[in-house]
Amino acid sequence: MTLYYDQIDTPIGTMFVVSNGKAIVRIDYGSLHSMNNKLASWLKRYFPDSRLVHSPEQVKQAKYELLEYFQGTRKTFSFPFSFYGTPFQTQVWQALFNLLPYGETTAYKDIAQAIGNPKAVRAVGGAVNKNPISIVVPCHRVVGANGKMVGYGGGLDKKEFLLALEKNHE
């Protein structure tokens, strides 16, 4: 299978966008070079016989919408995307996408309750940490139960930037 990618320069650094030709399958922080090990592991698991081809055209809509988001003019995304993860991870990511509006935050325990598994707070945290569609699936909007900033795969500085961006454009 051929996967298509391009990079996008954003106010919080380079982001890497991957498409399977029909939908976006990954948006992550970093360049192809900087995320080589992380990407290789993910590809081996979900697309073992794939090859990556640089093709800006295949990810053009996603890049355009992400740039609008960073300009504060877009609050929702319309391009197609597909999740690749375990059934539990997919359930958590879908809940984040469906239930967490622009500019609002929630706690891991609230996501656990929303998916009907209130005791799975730690597992929800693990799934959030593995989110393959950064920003669009808004894991940056998940905070600790006490409202404090807690881990973010892109780094807390990026999480703080994204939350401030959304607050400024509500």
Q: Output the pLDDT for position 94.
A: 96
Ranges 3-12, 36-45, 85-94, 106-115: which has the least confidence = 36-45
CA distance 159 to 141: 8
Question: Looking at 24, 44, 71, which one is the last position of a domain?
Answer: 71
Ranges 54-58, 69-73, 111-115, 155-159: which has the least confidence = 155-159
pLDDT for 31-59, tens place per residue? 887 777 788 888 999 999 999 999 999 99
pLDDT at 153 over 80: no
Kind of pairing between the strands at 142-143 and 13-19? unpaired
pLDDT at 102 over 80: yes
Q: Is residue 76 part of a domain?
A: no
Q: Output the pLDDT for position 144.
A: 76
The pTM score is 0.91
Give the pLDDT mean for 70-79. 95
3-state SS, residue 38: helix
Q: Do 100 and 152 lie in a common domain?
A: yes
Q: From edge to edge, which strands make up the β-sheet containing 51-54? A: 24-29, 13-19, 2-10, 51-54
| pLDDT band per the 50, 70, 90 thresholds, residue 23 | very high
Q: Do 67 and 20 lie in a common domain?
A: yes
Active site residues: 139
Task: Return the amino acid letter for 113.
Answer: Q
Q: List all residues 6 or more positions away from 116 whose beta carbon is below 8 Å from its beta carbon.
A: none
Q: Output the pLDDT for position 58.
A: 97
For 56, phi then psi, to 5°, come to -55, -35
Q: Is residue 82 part of a domain?
A: no
Q: Is the CB of residue 61 less than 8 Å from the CB of residue 69?
A: no
Q: Do 100 and 46 lie in a common domain?
A: no
Q: What is the CATH number of the domain that holds 143?
A: 1.10.10.10
Of the candidates 134, 43, 125, the residue with the CA atom closest to the CA atom of residue 81: 134
Range of the domain at 95: 87-168
pLDDT at 145 over 80: no
For residue 12, the number of C-alpha atoms closer than 13 Å in the C-beta half-sphere is 23
Q: Is residue 116 part of a domain?
A: yes
Q: Output the pLDDT for position 110.
A: 93
Q: Is the CB of residue 89 less than 8 Å from the CB of residue 129?
A: no
- Count: domains in the chain: 2
